[in-house]
């Protein structure tokens, strides 16, 4: 069977190029220009999947973005992608796809047993049934439901495809290339406006591709081709097919997903798979057209039941007959257009029209062609399981409540037309409050909120003549305002057939004694009876009805079901549709690949890594790195088979006994200049800064206005009006913004400039009892003695010809210095330190040893300055000036901050001197107390004290000052540990701070 | 994404800026007696306005200037923007 349903001529496919593809393991042929859907239909394949809940057979319902059924798993070039609509996927050589939501196969699906259990599976079934026992949810119910449901499987492999983002600006953005979009774009382009015209399908033209109209002296399709060809030659115009504008955001920002490679067997070298466009448009023309809506009848989900417009599109665009015995069921003239196309291709359709006596040019044409038309007739139910075999039809009374005698007629497809629903998603997303238009029984955009205007069918205007006239005018006037050009364009003559009024009829009543499922939402198996139940159970808001029944959810977002759902609710509730309202249209309009949204920000690009100038040295010397903010820092330098614990202990020990060197380039550095620099520091830091002499550094703590510690660090007075501030690695950016805030907004009278110099300086901390000896050898011509360079002193030196800054500051608590050189010399500095330091047994140390050193000294860091502590909590109240005012000072008077039993930093040692205490453990008085056991404090940082060779931790403890000597328990439910501990001073090593001054 | 007119750089997308809260808040002067209530109002109490709101933004990936933006919190419409030292009439 080779493309038995392909007509001999016609369609827009390339018949010279045959393509072979596989569906569910079977090989078929199609043509270039097909979609997977049209190629399958050409081969007579109607069964493509199973429905979500009842696992009923599923075929094709539409021919584009509105498709609720034909969702497949796609395989392309070794990759797989779920949730692909067969109606949108273009055919390429070697394409492979499989059905989803069926097991073991689409023809025999075990889950279809749900179909026979459907009376037990009404709306809200899952909500009601899987409530108890509670413990069953995670273990049994959820895994089972997950396995049974779903529309395909996400790949677990790394996505090799490349996705790009693009930012674009234009005067007019036009969404949709149907008649209104083309006319608007053409008029604006002629006025010299910068225009972007986007079309989601591969072919431009929208409805003109399938409608039987003339514009000027050409067919609608030829006119569209001519306009597109001319637009493509214009330098001020960008036309994009396969590009879906899916979101309308604030300030006329729209986002478009361009499928660059999905129609090809594999992505071309250097090409992205998809490109996401962020477009800022001065004006937006929404010409997104309309989607045909179904009429609801019994078993209306049977494969072979489809939209009449889709049947026409398969015929006119792809040359495919969706059936040889079609039944057209309509409440308006559109069904006749489809019937006429069938007839023209030698197929005899039967038309059932719910209207009693409609008259129009289109109907006359159908009659003249001899088409069998039955007025006041409806389809009561489709018959057939995996494919339509016949239809039960009946006449219907004028009030649409009584059915006549039921007859059965043979047919192999049922083409339904329940009139047209404007695609108002983008307009609604822009903030436009929609309004209900009675004549078309649908919502249309109301007053514009942003610079957007909706034209043509999307605005509920179905006359081509009117659409073109308005669109040319609007395109011309909007662009005239921007470019001040006014090129008049003659609006072409239009030949179209006039239609008659549609029938406000959307749902066929059930015949007596029959209980057919009449589906509203095809993707989610929501039937009329489900909505009835929801309303009976008290759901009133349309948003609640949606969530309870899942009407309008899933990948098609109810493009074909929403309006019929609203009709039903309004009928039961006895309200008009606008009073029921519609659910909110949110972006994206149609599913967008996560890859496209992420773009190039994947892997290491998701957060660019910063490396110090000494990074390659660390790498060569077996450093194991750790993320520190945006930086990579050596955590430890591995020797032999050492683990983290052994290496960090060795490194820390060497600092305490010899000398170590640590890369401190990542510390934030801010250069502060100006006559009022000292005054700024005095206001920002809690301690006094006005009398700091040139050549001296000082430690400072800064608060937020709420009294909480924001950051700490040293600031050095380089010269009279020049200071060098350091911040913690993590807070560098925030501190700069903080200073700028006060300088620009609060105290603009201060004459100070601040600038980040973090990346301009490479830093090395040299720490340990032998550090001065080393320093003297590095700077032989400088006096670095305790007198020449005392604690907190600063000098400028010459490191073998390189200008260096030397600070005598210490984080490790040892005699220590920090040397800074310009970043380009960082590696030179480091290598010199290592070379000269050899005789002093120098070792590099990483952040783990650094932590150990500072913890046993009781120096606070990020884990104590955690956004919840004030200076007192960190034993820093000595740095809080009583004399001067500073940022956050007033907050320190808050009663909680001066409470007698205020939390405070303490040291914690396990009684057995062996068990390390997990960070985050809670300190409690009684380890046997019933839960919740009152928490007295928490362990903020833990280390293995190299000084005493036992575990040591810091903790923030309630009433900490009075707790020294107390015995408590450290409890870590996460690690399942209960450790008896003793509270000691946080200054575990060298409590008087003699070493740093030695 | 908002489109903000930086008074120093021109029209720029929101992702170049960071938000800085209510611009009408005035910090009490240094070294001045401030009641608990006044201080609480400065540090904590903010109106969650629906409608016109004068707020601070910093052009953090641009000129690094703090600016004032008059924006409707419901519709996101931006009416005017000001330099840090500009008086808002």
| Encoded tokens for A235 | 């330098």
Chain A residues near residue B3 by CB distance under 8 angstroms: 250-253, 280
Residue-number span of the structural domain to which A547 is assigned: 518-573
* % of residues, chain A, pLDDT over 90: 85
Chain A residues near residue B8 by CB distance under 8 angstroms: none
DSSP 8-state class, residue A508: P
The pairing of strands A214-215 and A57-58 is unpaired
What is the DSSP track for A803-854?
A: EEEEE---SSSSSEEEEEEEGGGHHHHHHHHHHHHGGGT-EE--HHHHHHHH
What distance in Å separates residue B10's CA from the closest CA in chain A?
Answer: 15
**Could you say which of A250, A683, A745 has the minimum Cβ distance to residue B76?**
A250
Task: Give domain status of residue A352, yes or no.
Answer: yes
| Mean pLDDT value across residues A383-388 | 95
In this complex, how many residue pairs, one in chain A and one in chain B, have their CB atoms less than 8 Å apart?
53
Residues A250 and A178 in one domain: yes
Confirm or reject contact between A759 and chain B (CB < 8 A). no
Residues A355 and A247 in one domain: no
Residues A832 and A710 in one domain: yes
Task: Give domain status of residue A927, yes or no.
Answer: yes
* Residue that is last in its domain, among A128, A158, A188: A158
Phi then psi dihedrals of residue A456, to 5 deg = 65, -145
**For residue range A763-807, what is the model confidence (pLDDT) as tens digits?**
999 999 999 999 999 999 999 999 999 999 999 999 999 999 999
**Could you say which of A251, A449, A744 has the minimum Cβ distance to residue B65?**
A744
Phi then psi dihedrals of residue A604, to 5 deg = -70, -20
Quick check: B66 and A891 CB within 8 A? no
| Mean pLDDT value across residues A500-518 | 94
**For residue range A318-350, what is the model confidence (pLDDT) as tens digits?**
999 999 999 999 999 999 999 999 999 999 999
Chain A residues near residue B31 by CB distance under 8 angstroms: 884-885
> How many CA within 13 A on the CB side of residue A138?
1
* pLDDT at site A524: 82
Residues A222 and A126 in one domain: no
| pLDDT reading at A692 higher than 60 | yes
Quick check: B42 and A705 CB within 8 A? yes
Which residues on adjacent β-strands are paired with residue A944? A951
Cα A621 to chain centroid, rounded: 40
Q: Taking CA atoms, what residue in A is nearest to B77?
A: A251
3-state secondary structure of A29: strand
State the SS3 of A735-786.
HHHHHHHHHHHHCCCCCCEEEECHHHEEEEEEECCCHHHHHHHHCCCCCCCC
Q: Taking CA atoms, what residue in A is nearest to B85?
A: A745
| Mean pLDDT value across residues A502-530 | 92
| Mean pLDDT value across residues A626-645 | 95
Looking at A113-122, A371-380, A710-719, A813-822, which range is the least confident one? A113-122
**Could you say which of A251, A746, A885 has the minimum Cβ distance to residue B2?**
A251
Residues A742 and A833 in one domain: yes
* pLDDT at site A612: 97
Confirm or reject contact between B65 and chain A (CB < 8 A). yes
Task: Give domain status of residue A89, yes or no.
Answer: yes
The residue assigned the tokens 């001045």 is B32
Interface test with A, best of B21, B27, B69, B73 (most A CBs within 10 A): B27
State the SS3 of A45-106.
CCCCEECCCCCCEECCCCCCCCCCCCEEEEEECCEEEEEEECCCCECCCCCEEEECCCCECC
CATH number of residue A697's parent domain: 3.30.1360.120
Looking at A435-444, A556-565, A880-889, A941-950, which range is the least confident one? A556-565
Report the C-alpha gap between A279 and A60 in whole angstroms.
34
* % of residues, chain A, pLDDT over 70: 95
CATH number of residue A979's parent domain: 2.40.30.110
Residues A955 and A900 in one domain: yes
Interface test with A, best of B5, B43, B72 (most A CBs within 10 A): B43
Chain B residues near residue A683 by CB distance under 8 angstroms: 30
Confirm or reject contact between B49 and chain A (CB < 8 A). no
Residues A284 and A428 in one domain: yes
Which one is the CATH code of B1-26+49-89: 3.40.640.10, 3.30.2270.10, 3.30.420.40, 3.50.50.60?
A: 3.30.2270.10
Task: Give domain status of residue A116, yes or no.
Answer: yes
The residue assigned the tokens 């006239």 is A469
CATH number of residue A123's parent domain: 3.10.20.440
Confirm or reject contact between B44 and chain A (CB < 8 A). yes
CATH number of residue A264's parent domain: 3.50.50.60
| Mean pLDDT value across residues A76-98 | 93
| Encoded tokens for A265 | 């067997």
* pLDDT at site A156: 86
Task: Give domain status of residue A605, yes or no.
Answer: no
Q: Across A561-622, where does the E strand assignment appear?
A: none
Task: Give domain status of residue A250, yes or no.
Answer: yes
**Could you say which of A253, A431, A741 has the minimum Cβ distance to residue B75?**
A431
Computed over every residue of chain A, the mean pLDDT equals 94
Quick check: B31 and A885 CB within 8 A? yes
Residues A675 and A748 in one domain: yes
Quick check: A251 and B43 CB within 8 A? no
Report the C-alpha gap between A850 and A767 in whole angstroms.
10
Quick check: A249 and B1 CB within 8 A? yes
Cα A554 to chain centroid, rounded: 17
**Could you say which of A250, A278, A890 has the minimum Cβ distance to residue B34?**
A890
Decide if the complex's ipTM is over 0.90: yes
| Mean pLDDT value across residues A591-603 | 92
Cα A218 to chain centroid, rounded: 45
Question: B23 CB contacts (<8 Å, ≥6 apart)?
Answer: B54, B55, B56, B68, B69, B88
What distance in Å separates residue B13's CA from the closest CA in chain A?
Answer: 9
**For residue range A12-29, what is the model confidence (pLDDT) as tens digits?**
999 999 999 999 999 999
Residues A63 and A143 in one domain: yes
Report the C-alpha gap between A438 and A459 in whole angstroms.
13
> Total structural domains in chain A?
6
What distance in Å separates residue B84's CA from the closest CA in chain A?
Answer: 6
Report the C-alpha gap between A851 and B34 in whole angstroms.
41
* pLDDT at site A744: 97
Task: Give domain status of residue A200, yes or no.
Answer: yes
| Mean pLDDT value across residues A594-610 | 89
| Mean pLDDT value across residues A954-971 | 97
* pLDDT at site A64: 95
Is the bond into A6 cis (omega within 30 degrees of 0)?
no
| Mean pLDDT value across residues A432-457 | 95
Confirm or reject contact between A251 and chain B (CB < 8 A). yes
Confidence class for position A314, pLDDT limits 50, 70, 90: very high
What distance in Å separates residue B32's CA from the closest CA in chain A?
Answer: 9
Each domain of chain B, given as residue ranges in start order, spans 1-26+49-89
Confidence class for position A55, pLDDT limits 50, 70, 90: confident
**Could you say which of B1, B30, B56 has the minimum Cβ distance to residue A253?**
B1
Taking each continuous run of H as one helix and of E as one strand, the counts in chain A are 24, 50
Per-residue pLDDT of chain B (89 residues; tens, 9 = 90+): 999 999 999 999 999 999 999 999 999 999 999 999 999 999 999 999 999 999 999 999 999 999 999 999 999 999 999 999 998 87
* Residue that is last in its domain, among A158, A190, A206: A158
Cβ burial A443-474 (10 Å sphere, 16+ → b, else e):
bbbeebbbebbbbbbbbbbbebbebbebbbbb
Task: Give domain status of residue A87, yes or no.
Answer: yes
Chain B residues near residue A449 by CB distance under 8 angstroms: 75
**For residue range A107-147, what is the model confidence (pLDDT) as tens digits?**
776 666 666 666 666 666 666 666 666 666 666 666 666 65
Chain A residues near residue B82 by CB distance under 8 angstroms: none
Residues A400 and A470 in one domain: no
Confirm or reject contact between B43 and chain A (CB < 8 A). yes
Interface test with B, best of A431, A744, A754, A886 (most B CBs within 10 A): A744
């Amino acid at each position: 069977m080779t493309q038995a349903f392909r007509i001999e001529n016609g369609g827009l496919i390339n018949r010279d190029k045959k393509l072979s593809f596989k569906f569910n393991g079977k090989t078929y042929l199609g043509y270039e220009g097909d979609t997977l859907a049209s190629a399958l239909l050409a081969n007579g394949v109607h069964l493509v999947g199973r429905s979500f809940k009842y696992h009923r057979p599923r075929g094709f319902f539409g021919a584009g973005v509105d498709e609720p059924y034909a969702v497949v798993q796609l395989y392309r070039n070794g990759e797989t992608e779920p949730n692909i609509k067969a109606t949108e996927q273009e055919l390429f050589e070697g394409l492979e796809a499989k059905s989803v939501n069926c097991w073991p196969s689409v023809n025999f699906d075990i889950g279809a047993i749900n179909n026979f259990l459907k009376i037990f599976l009404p709306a809200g079934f899952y909500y009601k049934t899987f409530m108890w026992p509670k413990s069953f949810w995670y273990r049994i119910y959820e895994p089972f439901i997950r396995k049974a449901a779903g529309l395909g499987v996400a790949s677990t492999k790394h996505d090799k495809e490349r996705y790009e983002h693009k930012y674009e600006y234009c005067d007019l953005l036009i969404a949709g290339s149907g008649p209104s979009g083309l006319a608007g774009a053409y008029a604006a382009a002629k006025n010299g406006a910068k225009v972007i015209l986007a079309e989601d399908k591969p072919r431009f033209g929208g409805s003109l591709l399938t409608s039987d109209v003339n514009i000027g002296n050409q067919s609608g399709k030829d006119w569209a081709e001519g306009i597109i060809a001319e637009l493509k030659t214009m330098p001020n115009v960008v036309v994009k097919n396969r590009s879906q504008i899916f979101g309308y955001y604030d300030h006329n920002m729209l986002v478009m997903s361009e499928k660059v490679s999905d129609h090809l067997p594999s992505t071309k070298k250097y090409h992205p798979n998809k490109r996401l466009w962020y477009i800022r448009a001065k004006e937006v023309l929404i010409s997104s057209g309309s989607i045909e809506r179904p009429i609801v009848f019994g078993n209306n989900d049977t494969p072979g039941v489809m939209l009449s417009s889709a049947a026409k599109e398969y015929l006119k665009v792809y040359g495919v007959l969706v059936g040889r015995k079609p039944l057209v069921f309509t409440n308006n003239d559109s069904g006749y257009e489809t019937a006429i196309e069938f007839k023209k291709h030698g197929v005899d359709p039967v038309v059932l029209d719910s209207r009693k006596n409609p008259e129009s040019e289109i109907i006359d044409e159908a009659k003249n062609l001899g088409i069998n038309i039955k007025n006041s007739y409806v389809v009561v139910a489709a018959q057939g399981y995996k494919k339509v075999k016949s239809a039960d039809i009946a006449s219907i009374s004028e009030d649409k409540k009584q059915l006549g005698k039921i007859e059965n007629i043979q047919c192999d497809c049922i083409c339904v037309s329940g009139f047209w629903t404007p695609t108002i998603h983008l307009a609604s997303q822009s903030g436009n409050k929609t309004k209900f238009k009675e004549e078309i029984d649908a919502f249309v955009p109301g007053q514009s909120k942003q610079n957007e205007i909706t034209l043509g069918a999307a605005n509920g205007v179905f006359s081509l003549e009117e659409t073109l006239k308005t669109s040319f005018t609007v395109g011309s006037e909007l662009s005239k305002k921007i470019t001040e050009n006014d090129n008049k364009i003659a609006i072409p003559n239009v030949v179209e057939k006039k239609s008659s009024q549609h029938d406000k009829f959307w749902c066929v009543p059930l015949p007596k004694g029959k209980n057919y499922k009449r589906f509203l939402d095809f993707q989610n198996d929501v039937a009329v009876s489900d909505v009835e139940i929801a309303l009976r159970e008290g759901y009133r808001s349309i948003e609640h009805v949606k969530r309870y029944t899942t009407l309008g959810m899933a990948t098609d977002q109810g493009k074909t079901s929403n309006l019929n759902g609203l009709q039903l609710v309004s009928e039961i509730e006895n309200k008009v549709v606008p009073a029921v309202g519609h659910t909110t249209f949110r972006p994206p309009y149609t599913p967008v690949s996560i890859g496209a949204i992420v773009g190039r920000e994947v892997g290491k690009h998701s957060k660019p890594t910063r490396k110090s100038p000494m990074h390659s040295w660390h790498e060569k010397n077996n450093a194991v790195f750790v993320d520190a903010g945006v930086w990579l820092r050596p955590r430890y330098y591995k020797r032999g088979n050492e683990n983290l614990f052994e290496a960090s202990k060795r490194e820390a020990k060497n600092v305490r006994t010899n000398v170590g060197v640590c890369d401190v380039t990542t510390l934030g550095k801010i250069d502060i200049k100006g006559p009022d620099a000292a005054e700024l520091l005095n206001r920002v830091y809690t301690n006094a800064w006005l009398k700091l002499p040139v050549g001296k550094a000082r430690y400072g703590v800064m608060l937020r206005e709420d009294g909480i510690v924001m950051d700490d660090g040293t600031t050095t007075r380089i010269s009279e009006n020049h200071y060098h501030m350091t911040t913690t690695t993590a807070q560098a950016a925030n501190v700069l913004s903080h200073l700028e805030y006060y300088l620009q907004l609060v105290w603009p009278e201060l004459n100070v400039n601040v600038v980040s110099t973090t990346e301009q300086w490479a830093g090395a901390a040299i720490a340990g009892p032998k550090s001065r000896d080393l320093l003297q050898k590095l700077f032989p011509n400088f006096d670095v003695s305790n007198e020449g360079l005392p604690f907190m002193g600063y000098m400028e030196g010459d490191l073998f010809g390189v200008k260096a800054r030397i600070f005598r500051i210490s984080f490790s608590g040892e005699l220590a210095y920090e040397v800074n050189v310009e970043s380009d010399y960082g590696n030179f500095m480091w290598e010199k330190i290592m070379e000269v330091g050899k005789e002093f047994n120098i070792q590099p140390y990483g952040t783990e040893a650094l932590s150990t050193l500072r913890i046993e000294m009781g120096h606070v860091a990020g884990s104590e300055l955690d956004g919840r502590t004030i200076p007192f909590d960190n034993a820093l109240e000595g740095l809080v000036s009583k004399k001067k005012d500073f940022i956050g000072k007033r907050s320190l008077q808050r009663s909680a901050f001066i409470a007698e039993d205020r939390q405070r930093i303490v040291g914690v040692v396990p009684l057995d001197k062996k068990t390390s205490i997990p960070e985050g453990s809670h300190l409690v008085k009684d380890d046997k107390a019933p839960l919740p056991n009152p928490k007295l404090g928490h362990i903020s940082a833990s280390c293995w004290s190299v000084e005493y060779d036992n575990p040591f931790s810091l903790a923030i403890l309630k009433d900490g000052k009075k707790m020294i000597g107390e015995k408590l328990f450290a409890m870590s439910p996460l690690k399942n540990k209960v450790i008896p501990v003793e509270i000691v001073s946080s200054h575990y090593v060298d409590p008087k701070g003699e070493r740093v001054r030695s | 994404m908002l489109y903000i007119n930086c008074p120093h750089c021109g029209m720029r997308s929101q992702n170049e800026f960071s938000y800085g809260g209510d611009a009408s808040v005035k910090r009490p002067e240094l070294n001045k007696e401030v009641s608990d209530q006044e201080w609480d109002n400065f540090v904590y109490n903010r109106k969650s306005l629906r409608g016109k709101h004068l707020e601070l933004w910093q052009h953090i990936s641009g000129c690094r200037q703090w600016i004032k933006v008059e924006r409707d919190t419901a519709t996101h419409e931006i009416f005017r923007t000001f330099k840090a030292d500009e008086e808002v009439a």
